[in-house]
């Protein structure tokens, strides 16, 4: 946080946060963002990306100007709310106002929020686009547009909407794209509507993350549920478990509940209220285990996750990293990544281990305890 003369409200919030050093991504992007440059940034899950763009943008906001200066787009309702919580936390005493625009929520209430001229708007692409088309959100005054988890926004179903939102801004606006994963296609597409962007990539090695242990259990497919149950009952556990199929989520949850375990389920089909309630119960510790698909867990920031469980092995190395990066995040002490694999999947896991240079150790349950195999 040195080098830059931060405004007092940011300085005070930093002191209060207990953070010591800024992370690699925060250090690398703050100057280009403050200088008004376009930026494409890739940095692993849990590396502090939200604050990396938020702090320099909050530093630049002029509270004397009563209009929207920053628009942040995010792919999910939860991610919008998470970013908004960070904005509120870091703007105390600054006079900066913010509003959320989410599909499925009351449109009239959102129009009322916009009439109060917030400085920062965080929203999902569909709703932001609707309000631009209704001329309720005036984009010609917006200085910066942020695409958070950009690879999820520049997908075929959102592409036209995102292009429309970008076109509604003036040519001299700043455009920022942040993502944990970044395909060549996404990078090329972003460059098409940016002006000589600074491309900044932070690798796993550059992150001082807490210690994460990678272990695995071997079992037949039908017995995976017993391993998951034993893990969830093993000490103080706050575990996020990944499955591939939505249909398997519900079946596994029912079997675990039948065995007396409280389980939450996150799938992309569940309604917003159910998702919100499930996440609240999981975050508060009422539920030790949350079952999810990759799509449903996208962008979720859950603090203090003790375990990530790969019930179904990921498709590839990138997906393994992305899922696993959710434990041992900044601010926590450690985490454990557990893969529950069939003998056939064990070969794939060992290949991931070699490709990533991450040791994975085989374990068994013996008298209720986790022991080396």
Question: Mind listing the pLDDT tens digit for each residue in 285-306?
Answer: 889 999 998 877 776 777 778 8
Same domain? 161 vs 242: no
* CA Rg value for the chain: 22
Same domain, 232 and 337: yes
pLDDT of 331 higher than 70: no
| Number of domain units in the chain | 2
The backbone torsions φ and ψ at residue 311, rounded to the nearest 5 degrees and listed phi first, read: -70, -45
Q: Return the C-alpha torsion angle 173, 117, 88, 134, nearest 10.
A: -70
For residues 362 and 346, what is the distance between their CA atoms, to the nearest angstrom? 10
Same domain, 173 and 190: yes
The per-residue pLDDT for 207 is: 65
> What confidence category does residue 31 fall into, taking pLDDT thresholds of 50, 70 and 90?
very high
Whether 289 and 228 have beta carbons less than 8 Å apart is answered as yes
Low-confidence winner among 58-62, 154-158, 208-212, 315-319 (lowest mean pLDDT): 208-212
- The domain of 76 spans 8-205
Find, among 233, 257, 276, 258, the residue nearest to 77 by Cα. Answer: 276
Domain end residue (candidates: 189, 205, 221): 205
Question: Is 133 inside a domain boundary?
Answer: yes
Q: What is the pLDDT of residue 333?
A: 53
Residues 179 and 225 in one domain: no
- Would you say residue 3 lies in a domain? no
200, 213: one domain:
no
Rounded CA gap, 206 and 369, in Å? 34
Say yes or no: 294 and 173 in one domain.
no
Question: Do 220 and 95 share a structural domain?
Answer: no
* Pick from 7-21, 138-152, 253-267: least confident: 7-21
Q: Tell me the CATH number at 95.
A: 3.40.50.300
For the chain, the average pLDDT equals: 89
All residues at 6 or more sequence positions from 343 whose CB lies less than 8 Å from its CB, including other chains:
218
Same domain, 276 and 194: no
Residue 163 has pLDDT above 80, yes or no: yes
Tokens of 325: 């990066």
Q: What percent of the chain has pLDDT over 90?
A: 55
Residue 197 binned pLDDT confidence (cut-offs 50, 70, 90): very high
- Do residues 36 and 15 both lie within one domain? yes
What's residue 332's pLDDT? 53
Q: Which of 205, 231, 264 is the last residue of a domain?
A: 205
Where does a domain end: 154, 185, 205? Answer: 205
Task: Name the pTM for this structure.
Answer: 0.66
pLDDT over 80 at 107, yes or no:
yes
Regarding whether 245 and 115 lie in a shared domain, the answer is no
Instruction: Let me know if residue 2 belongs to a domain.
Output: no
Same domain, 199 and 214: no
Instruction: Specify if 219 maps to a domain.
Output: yes
């Amino acid at each position: 946080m040195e080098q830059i003369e931060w405004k007092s409200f940011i300085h005070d919030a930093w002191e209060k946060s207990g953070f010591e050093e800024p992370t690699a991504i925060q250090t690398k992007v703050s100057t280009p963002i403050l200088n008004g440059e376009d930026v494409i940034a890739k940095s692993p899950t849990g590396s502090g990306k939200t604050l990396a763009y938020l702090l320099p943008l909050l530093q630049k906001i002029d509270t004397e100007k009563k209009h929207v200066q920053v628009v942040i787009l995010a792919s999910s309702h939860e991610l919008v709310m998470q970013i908004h919580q960070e904005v509120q936390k870091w703007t105390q005493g600054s006079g900066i106002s913010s509003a959320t625009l989410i599909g499925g929520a009351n449109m009239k209430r959102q129009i009322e929020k916009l009439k109060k001229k917030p400085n920062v708007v965080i929203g999902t692409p569909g709703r932001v686009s609707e309000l631009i088309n209704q001329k309720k959100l005036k984009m010609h005054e917006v200085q910066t547009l942020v695409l958070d988890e950009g690879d999820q926004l520049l997908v075929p179903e959102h592409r036209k909407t995102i292009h429309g939102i970008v076109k509604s801004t003036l040519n001299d606006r700043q455009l920022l794209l942040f993502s944990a994963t970044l395909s060549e296609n996404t990078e090329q597409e972003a460059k098409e509507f940016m002006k000589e962007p600074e491309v900044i990539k932070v690798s796993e090695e550059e992150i001082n993350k807490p210690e994460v242990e990678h272990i695995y259990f071997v079992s037949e497919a039908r017995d995976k549920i017993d391993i998951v149950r034993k893990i969830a009952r093993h000490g103080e556990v706050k575990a996020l478990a990944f499955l591939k199929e939505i249909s398997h989520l519900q079946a596994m949850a029912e079997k675990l509940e039948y065995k007396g375990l409280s389980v939450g389920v996150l799938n992309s089909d569940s309604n917003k209220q159910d998702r919100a309630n499930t996440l609240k119960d999981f975050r508060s510790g009422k539920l030790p285990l949350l079952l999810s698909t990759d799509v449903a867990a996208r962008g979720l920031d859950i603090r203090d996750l003790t375990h990530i469980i790969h019930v179904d092995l990921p498709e590839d190395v990138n997906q393994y990293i992305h899922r696993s990066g959710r434990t041992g995040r900044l601010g926590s002490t450690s985490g454990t990544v557990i893969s529950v694999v069939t003998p056939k999947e064990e070969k794939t896991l060992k290949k991931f281990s070699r490709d990533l240079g991450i040791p994975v150790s085989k374990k068994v349950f013996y008298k209720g305890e986790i022991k080396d195999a």
